[in-house]
Amino acid sequence: MKVRFWGVRGSIPSPGPHTMRYGGNTTCIEVRSDDGSLIILDGGTGIFPLGQELLKHLPVRANVFMTHTHWDHIQGLPFFAPLYIPGNSVRIHGGYDVVAGRGIDQIIDVQLQYSYFPVREAEMRGNIEYATLSIGVPVTVGDATVTPLMLNHPVVNFGYRIDCNGKSVFFTGDHEPWPNIYSPQDEGYGEFQQIVDLQQAQLDAALAGLDVLIADSSYTAAEYSTRIGWGHGTLEGNMAWATRLGVKQLVCTHHEPLRSDDDLERAFALALEGSGRAGDGAAATLLAREGLELVL
């Protein structure tokens, strides 16, 4: 199984001279199973260069798994060139939006209104299908199995575990560890903490034996105190999580768009030093960058 990163920034594209080493595109990850089946995680602006690369080997057969429908994770889809070419087939998977009362089929329909985009979905000549997922129910793609797990974000957000011939990778999408909504001195704190602990334990159990964890690491621990409830994780928190799970490799992604490459490396180094992973664990702890490829 191969994993390649095409977009690693969060919230908004941030191209420019200060983000050239890690890249300015928003989230998109390509996964190739052992038999060559194509799995794409999210359709941020990184899906545009991926689409251009895929044009070299037609026809395209792709399964796109959307973690959630926030703008930075979907905005590249209308520019995904394989959608416009007859003979290509793209199946888009995702959750059910309880607010809109629609499945993942809304993801292109909403964007391709003439007020926002000059092309209608009917003008896309590739075959587009939609599949609404259920929590914990696996989907088979070639020789790989993709299992959606519910994570914590202001909208429905699936993390995806991909298993293929004994190897596994999990991508969180946007995820903030479940917080306790009560203060320690409040009466309901202890009872609610039990709920939080159970949710985390269930997720940890679903990730047993994981090889690679790709995690939303937008903030530092110091920054997080003013961003509680925004739906994102921290470098330090994910390093601790990876250690607890015993994963072979942690890839920190969804980089804060205001952070330059230099700032990102400084924040990462400080978190790594404080995590206890600076020794043997440092080589297994990476910052995601565009073009990074992992082979499992």
How many CA atoms, within 13 angstroms, populate the side-chain half-sphere of residue 16?
10
Note the pLDDT tens digit of each residue in 174-186. Answer: 999 999 888 899 9
pLDDT of 75 reads 96
Where do the domains of the chain lie? 2-295
Least confident of 15-19, 95-99, 256-260, 265-269: 95-99
Q: Beta 2-7 vs 249-253: how paired, if at all?
A: unpaired
pLDDT of 277 reads 66
| In contact, 57 and 32? CB cutoff 8 Å | no
Q: What percent of the chain has pLDDT over 90?
A: 84
Least confident of 33-42, 52-61, 108-117: 108-117
Mean model confidence pLDDT for the chain: 94
What length does the chain have?
A: 296
Note the pLDDT tens digit of each residue in 76-90. Answer: 999 999 999 999 999
The Cβ of residue 268 has, within 10 Å, a number of other Cβ atoms equal to 20
**pLDDT exceeds 80 at position 15:** yes
| In contact, 10 and 218? CB cutoff 8 Å | yes
What CA–CA distance (Å, rounded) separates 34 from 140? 13
pLDDT of 107 reads 85
Question: pLDDT category, 64, cuts 50, 70, 90?
Answer: very high
Note the pLDDT tens digit of each residue in 148-171. Answer: 999 999 998 999 999 999 999 999
Least confident of 26-30, 138-142, 194-198: 194-198
What CA–CA distance (Å, rounded) separates 138 from 254? 25
> Given phi > 0 = left and psi -120 to 50 = alpha, else beta, which region is 222?
alpha
Note the pLDDT tens digit of each residue in 185-211. Answer: 999 999 999 999 999 999 999 999 999
- The residues, any chain, with a CB within 8 Å of residue 252's CB and separated by 6 or more, are 215, 217, 235, 238, 268, 285, 286, 287, 288
Note the pLDDT tens digit of each residue in 114-124. Answer: 888 998 888 89
What CA–CA distance (Å, rounded) separates 243 from 239? 6
pLDDT of 171 reads 98
Q: Which of 2, 137, 155 is nearest to 73 (CA)?
A: 155
pTM score, whole prediction: 0.95
Note the pLDDT tens digit of each residue in 243-280. Answer: 999 999 999 999 999 999 999 999 999 999 888 766 55
List of E strands, 133-208:
139-141, 144-150, 158-164, 167-171
**pLDDT exceeds 60 at position 281:** no
| In contact, 19 and 5? CB cutoff 8 Å | no
List the CATH code of the domain at 2-295: 3.60.15.10
